[in-house]
Amino acid sequence: MKNVLIATVASLAFALSSCSAGAPVNDDPKPADTTSANKVAVWVTNGSQSKLLKSDNPISIVKAGSNSPSTNLINIDFSTKLQEMEGFGAAMTGSSAYLINQKLNATQRAALLKDLFDQETGIGMSYLRITMGASDFSLEDFTYNDLPAGQTDANLTKFSVAKDQADLIPVLKSVVALQPAIRIMATPWSAPAWMKTSGKLAGGSLKTEWYGAYSNYFVKYLDAYKAEGIAIDAISVQNEPLHEAAYPSMRMDSSAQLNFIKNNLGPLFQSKSIKTKILLYDHNWDRPGYPISILNDPKASQYVAGSAFHAYGGNVTAMSQVHDQFPDKGLYFTEISGGRWAANFSDNLKWNMSNIFIGTANNWSKNALLWNIALDETDGPKNKGCDNCRGVVTIATNGTITKNVEYYTIAHMSKFVHPGAFRVQSDRLSASTQLEHVAFVNPDGSKVLVILNLGTDNKKFTVALGENQFSYTIDPNAVATLVWK
């Protein structure tokens, strides 16, 4: 997350704001199972905050009448499966791990992690992004092979993940214990300084003579985490490769990334039978040509699982541009942050759901991740980057935890749409209805509809289910998740 991008974010009306500390909290985490009794379970969060992931009265599924409504009618084809979903969550940055591990006592920490990751009693986050070395949300600058100026280590004999063992690895082990199948994506902000043109972690590019050593750096990282009992499902080659900053960062244009993957990282992973996915780009929606140029090279493309995107510029439809040309490659949404630049819960709820959760899924993303999972009340600890970003939750000095709007937006997906679910075909309503939606079928056969009311009035809609149907009236400025069998 970058200061230089805050103005862009604000100008695009990226309304991302905090839930006030005094707002109601979810006091009904698990409603009665209505899905086996021809009923639809409903969960709602509205802009007024009178409902925060609140279970609403269940809806009856009834026979479709001859006078079924022609307006706000949603037809869902559950037999037409689109992309397979891998999960929803946020980033366990160094700052987030530090707060969870050091600022909460054992009871508080266990309660928070259970709330975030337990599928039954919590919101069941199923995907995490972590940083390989330091980012702009770490306690200090570091990589796993830092050396005094002028020294090199071609064989990486001094490689060590010791700094992660203070907070990040212990917290991840606790998460894996709660959710053994959680997917974890790892991303570097910078190669070690001695490998770079700048000779420092801030800015510069990877020297071509160290492409081989840097490929081995990834392998050593995966091996070190495996030894800790933590499996890394995917890596992206470089965080925001078109952005150099005062914090750890590294420029890697598309031709350099293509060369690195095609001639070094990809062949090395293949030779070692490494199954961890390689993801491209990991930057904003405004440059879809970057991943397309690499995927156009068949030798590089064979090693690549997909492309990752952020939302600090451009439009979510960029993901469909890539999908249309390479439908066999995955798409991943990996970062957006809320912050103090906007302060309206309702606007933030609607923007996040429209663009990040409903929007990315409808544009072929297999996941959706927000930025810091936790920050403190001063928006830190921070490391020369964004000075007014917000975590999914805020951890105060006294251990009090505030659930911000991002918590609820993730929850409306992560608690109900499980890994292995498929997005299914559904008819879009006209923009004039101010209703947006996306539908899924879970591995257990349960069906999910997530629907957003962008308008300021109640909106009634009907879901057609062959010979049956159900209707529901959604609050203004609200998101509802509906689940049935």
Cα(154)–Cα(195) distance, integer angstroms? 9
Task: Answer yes or no: 335 catalytic.
Answer: yes
Tokens of 118: 């337990």
Q: Computed from CA positions of residues 322, 86, 57, 477, in that sequence, does the dihedral angle turn out positive or negative?
A: negative
Tell me if domain 3-14+86-416 and domain 39-82+424-484 are identical in fold: no
Q: Give me the residue spans of the domains in the chain.
A: 3-14+86-416, 39-82+424-484
Contact present, 124 and 117 (Cβ < 8 Å):
yes
pLDDT at position 82 is 98
Phi, psi of 360 (to 5 degrees): -70, -40
Residue 425 Cα distances to 44, 64, 148, 286, angstroms = 23, 20, 56, 26
Q: Which residue in 84, 86, 228, 240 is the catalytic one?
A: 240
Cα(246)–Cα(135) distance, integer angstroms? 11
Separation of CA 280 from chain center: 16
pLDDT at position 68 is 59
Q: Computed from CA positions of residues 312, 317, 320, 321, in that sequence, does the dihedral angle turn out positive or negative?
A: negative
pLDDT at position 181 is 96
Tokens of 299: 């030798």
Element (H or E) spanning 71, and its range? none
Length of the chain: 485
- CA nearest 380: which of 398, 369, 394? 394
Cα(259)–Cα(280) distance, integer angstroms? 12
Topology annotation, domain 3-14+86-416: TIM Barrel (3.20.20)
Q: What is the CATH number of domain 39-82+424-484?
A: 2.60.40.1180
Phi, psi of 234 (to 5 degrees): -150, 150
pLDDT at position 28 is 45
Please identify which residue in the block is written with the tokens 């791990």.
97
pLDDT at position 67 is 63
Q: Which residue in 86, 228, 335, 436 is the catalytic one?
A: 335
pLDDT at position 66 is 59
Task: Answer yes or no: 209 catalytic.
Answer: no
> The whole model's pTM is what?
0.93
Interior angle at CA 138, CA 266 and CA 268, nearest 5: 10
CA atoms within 13 A on the CB side of 347: 13
Element (H or E) spanning 319, and its range? helix 318-325
User: 462: which residues sit within 8 A by CB, 6+ positions away?
Assistant: 68, 69, 72, 73, 74, 469, 470, 471
pLDDT at position 29 is 47
Per-position pLDDT tens, the chain of length 485: 444 343 333 333 333 333 333 333 444 445 444 445 689 999 999 999 999 999 999 999 999 875 656 679 999 999 999 999 999 999 999 999 999 999 999 999 999 999 999 999 999 999 999 999 999 999 999 999 999 999 999 999 999 999 999 999 999 999 999 999 999 999 999 999 999 999 999 999 999 999 999 999 999 999 999 999 999 999 999 999 999 999 999 999 999 999 999 999 999 999 999 999 999 999 999 999 999 999 999 999 999 999 999 999 999 999 999 999 999 999 999 999 999 998 899 999 999 999 999 999 999 999 999 999 999 999 999 999 999 999 999 999 999 999 999 999 999 999 999 999 999 999 999 999 999 999 999 999 999 999 999 999 999 999 999 899 999 999 999 999 999 99
According to DSSP, the residues that pair with 479 across neighbouring strands are 45, 452
Contact present, 180 and 120 (Cβ < 8 Å):
no
Interior angle at CA 25, CA 20 and CA 27, nearest 5: 175
